[in-house]
Amino acid sequence: MSELADRTIVALRAEHDSLTTLLPNLTDEQLAGPSGASEWTIAQVLSHLGSGAEIGRLPIARALGESVPDEDNESIWARWDAAGPVDQAAGFVRHGQAYLDTIESLTPEQRESLIVDLGFLPEPVPLVVALGMRLNEVSAHAWDVRVGLDPAAGVNPDSATLVLELLAGPVSFLLGFAARADELAEPARVSIPGGGAIEIADEVALRTGLADPTATFDGPQEAVVRLLSGRLKPEHTPEEVQVTGNVTLDDLRKVFPGY
């Protein structure tokens, strides 16, 4: 898993750098303007990413033996929510960098063997699970920021490929939290670009390969990632995206309502 952790860390760095390069060019009005998240401004999305970086760094630091502040998540969120848009953006840069400083400094042995207690899962998890959960969130919310400025924006292609690999592997349980398999009248096995498939039966799973698909999703991998996170709304669906077979794209949107 060390190699997968390495690639996930590289992708997290790329996502952070992409946003921090974008931020100096934003006006106060743009920061306070709408994002791809229907209930959040761009600044609020950055606040969510920044607080997530602050919260997500703590269990990794504890696993490394570092002494860290004992502040509950609700207090952290309240502090971020009370900040203004400019401070929320600046806080995202600062705490995102602190998170990256911690994970990028890990040795190969630590990347392979470190076990992290996230606090809300039944048991501690390998580092790659914590990193995969973070990339799944960052790639989605980075798109929320970019699409607020450019309606044609997509998820970073490198992140999209890696997120699909992670969702088919160490963070597959995330689909169980977000997907609604009972929205379909019959099971479906939807082939996706890259050779994988979305299997929807009693539960929802992402497979690296699957025989006898019942439907096909044609389009870029980034569109699949946005489908899984509820971000493939009609107004943000590329023209080349099509679904054929025993389900439609609208059916799949109901299975993945988003978060």
In tens, the pLDDT along 216-244 reads: 999 999 999 999 999 999 999 999 999 99
Same domain? For 119 and 213 the reply is: no
pLDDT for 149 beyond 80: yes
Same domain? For 157 and 180 the reply is: no
What is the average pLDDT across 147-156? 96
Helix (H) or strand (E) holding 55: helix 42-63
Cα Rg of the chain (Å, integer): 18
CA nearest neighbour of 191 among 257, 244, 136, 254: 244
Same domain? For 181 and 162 the reply is: no
Q: Which two tokens stand for residue 92?
A: 């995202």
Confidence of residue 211 (pLDDT cuts 50, 70, 90): confident
Domain harbouring 185, CATH code: 3.30.1050.10
Chain segment 100-140, per-residue pLDDT in tens: 999 999 999 999 999 999 988 899 999 999 999 999 999 99
Domain harbouring 149, CATH code: 1.20.120.450
Same domain? For 62 and 156 the reply is: yes
Q: Write the CA distances from 9 to 13, 154, 195, integer angstroms.
A: 6, 20, 24
Same domain? For 78 and 21 the reply is: yes
DSSP per-residue string spanning 8-39: HHHHHHHHHHHHHHHGGG--HHHHTSB-SSTT
pLDDT for 13 beyond 80: yes
Q: Domain limits at 165?
A: 2-171
What is the number of domains present in the chain? 2
Q: Residues 115, 125: contact at Cβ < 8 Å?
A: yes
Chain segment 155-201, per-residue pLDDT in tens: 999 999 999 999 999 999 999 888 999 999 999 999 999 999 999 99
Same domain? For 182 and 167 the reply is: no
Same domain? For 167 and 186 the reply is: no
pTM: 0.96
How far apart CA 60 and CA 62 sit, in angstroms, is: 5
